[in-house]
């Protein structure tokens, strides 16, 4: 299994509080992603990173920020959590490096967030 660890795995928080989810990889892969998964919507990309300090928005980035200060860690922050951000969040990594792109994403086990 790819070395991806998400923390926390479960969290319940109140509306308006800040929340940070952490994704840690031991594979030294270039790309890291945060997706959210909701019933009826499948997986939607929030943000992704293609290197240290290099990040870009996905299709549902509003209300989220990310940081990647080192290769192995990709943090997802909800500055002020809302009930609409109740979801299961998945981190994924990819070794894609352009010419040698294998295309495959490896996923973590998910972080279930409930915002009351």
Partner 1 sequence: SQQGEEDPQALSIQEGENATMNCSYKTSINNLQWYRQNSGRGLVHLILIRSNEREKHSGRLRVTLDTSKKSSSLLITASRAADTASYFCATDAFRGGSNYKLTFGKGTLLTVNP
One residue of 92, 93, 113, 115 binding partner 1 per CB under 8 A:
92
Is residue 89 involved in binding partner 1 (CB under 8 A)?
no
The first and second tokens of residue 50, run together, are 């293609």
**Is residue 13 part of the contact set for partner 1 (CB under 8 A)?**
no
CA nearest neighbour of 37 among 97, 92, 77, 78 = 92
Report CA-CA distances (Å) from 60 to 8, 45, 85, 95, 108: 21, 6, 11, 23, 19
Q: Does 54 bind partner 1 (CB under 8 A)?
A: yes
Out of 13, 20, 71, 96, point to the residue binding partner 1 (CB under 8 A): 96
CA distances from 99 to 58, 93, 102, 103, 112 (A): 23, 17, 9, 11, 35
Q: Which of 5, 24, 45, 71 binds partner 1 (CB under 8 A)?
A: 45
Residue 107 lies near partner 1 (rule: CB under 8 A): yes
Residue of the chain from 5, 50, 63, 77 that contacts partner 1 (CB under 8 A): 50
Q: What are the residues binding partner 1 (CB under 8 A)?
A: 31, 33, 35, 40-45, 48, 50-51, 54, 56, 58-59, 90, 92, 94, 96, 98, 101-110
């Amino acid at each position: 299994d790819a070395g991806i660890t998400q923390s926390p795995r479960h969290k319940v928080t109140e509306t308006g509080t800040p929340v940070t989810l952490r994704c840690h990889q031991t594979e030294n892969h270039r790309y890291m992603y945060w997706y959210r998964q909701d019933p009826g919507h499948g997986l939607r990309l929030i943000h992704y990173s293609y290197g240290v300090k290099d990040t870009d928005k996905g299709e549902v980035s509003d209300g989220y920020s990310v940081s990647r200060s080192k290769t192995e860690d990709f943090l997802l922050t909800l500055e002020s959590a809302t009930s609409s951000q109740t979801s299961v969040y998945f981190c994924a990594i990819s070794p894609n490096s352009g010419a040698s792109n294998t295309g495959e994403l490896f996923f973590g086990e998910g972080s279930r967030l409930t915002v009351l």
